[in-house]
Amino acid sequence: MKRIAGWLLVIGIAVVVAIGASIFLAESRPYKGYAESEQFVDIPPGTGPASIGRRLVEAGVIRDTLGFRFELARTGTGRRLQAGEYRFDRPMTVKEVVAKIAHGDVYLLPITFREGLTIREMAQLFENKGFGQAPEFVAAASDATTIHGIDPVARDLEGYLFPDTYAMPRRATPAQLVARMVTAFEKVLTPKLRADAEARGLTVRELVTLASIVEKETAKAEERPLVAAVYANRLKIGMGLQCDPTVIYALERAGRYNGNLTRENLQFDSPYNTYRHAGLPPGPIASPGQASLEAAAHPADVPYLYFVSRGDGSHAFASTLDEHNHNVFEFQIKPNRK
């Protein structure tokens, strides 16, 4: 009997080893059971390992749940599996699949908002990238309650959606993206930056408004403090800003801008029209980047009151009207006579 029991034990061990070896060999081979070039598997928060395994099998990512459970037991990663949407686009071993989910390698899509965009322009980009409908983004950006701590009079988030690249899930809501953009803005608006702006007599709203004008006027980093200085100097002496981008913004809000700014447009009645109304406009006209915010808080120490485009992306600056008129002739009128 002892000999029989011994043989049964040996056979049992051999069977277990054989089963384990077959599982190991099967699951060590890459597997792809879906016909498409890619497969997405969504794991909602709170989903347990057993349910995750079934989802992966149903999606054709792994052969069966047995090998999945074996890998979780071997690695002890059962409690580290993370929720999210995962993209699979090639044959993978169970070990690779488990590692991917344990590491939280969720599928994210990048969306880049460059400096100087308005809410409506951002919304259109949001739609073009396939995240959702533009009106949904506009609606989310119309809720200004999140920034009332720094700008109590804000009626929307114009100027407060920080331009950057954001990696978002495919099903991210506009509110989630907007929240991230506001958080990024708040990080850039450091206590020192706010204190420096306050020292110049600027509220946060005035700082962002001035920075948005600087952002729209020049793309050259070295010119931003100079442009900021022109408008700071004009504000100091009560001179009209006469800023074209503010007029364009006013026309766009009214649905009346066709891409060309005319003399007639300069008379358009809007509080954003800085040809008709003194001082800064009521609020930001776009989302400024960090460099423009810094320039608005730290304008160059120069006496300039005017600038004109040279036609190559740069500008010629002047302290007097005579100098400015000379620059206008040199860079605007003279080249057009050729």
Q: How many domains does the chain have?
A: 3
Q: How confident is the model at residue 247 (pLDDT cuts 50, 70, 90)?
A: very high
Question: Domain check: are 158 and 96 in the same one?
Answer: no
Question: Domain check: are 90 and 133 in the same one?
Answer: no
Predicted pLDDT at 15? 47
Residue that finishes a domain, picked among 86, 102, 118:
102
Confirm whether 325 is domain-assigned.
no
Question: Domain check: are 211 and 117 in the same one?
Answer: no
d(CA 8, CA 14): 10
pLDDT digits (tens, 9 = 90+) for 91-147: 999 999 999 999 999 999 999 999 999 999 999 999 999 999 999 999 999 999 999
Considering the entire predicted model, what is its pTM? 0.85
Confirm whether 86 is domain-assigned.
yes
Confirm whether 280 is domain-assigned.
yes
Confirm whether 333 is domain-assigned.
no
Q: Torsion-angle region of residue 287: left (phi > 0), alpha (psi -120 to 50) or beta?
A: beta
| Nearest residue to 71 (alpha-carbon basis) of 101, 100, 95 | 95
Domain ranges, residue 213: 191-304
Question: Domain check: are 199 and 292 in the same one?
Answer: yes
Question: Domain check: are 50 and 140 in the same one?
Answer: no
pLDDT digits (tens, 9 = 90+) for 182-239: 999 999 999 999 999 999 999 999 999 999 999 999 999 999 999 999 999 999 999 9
Rounded to 10°, the helix 290-297/204-217 angle is 120
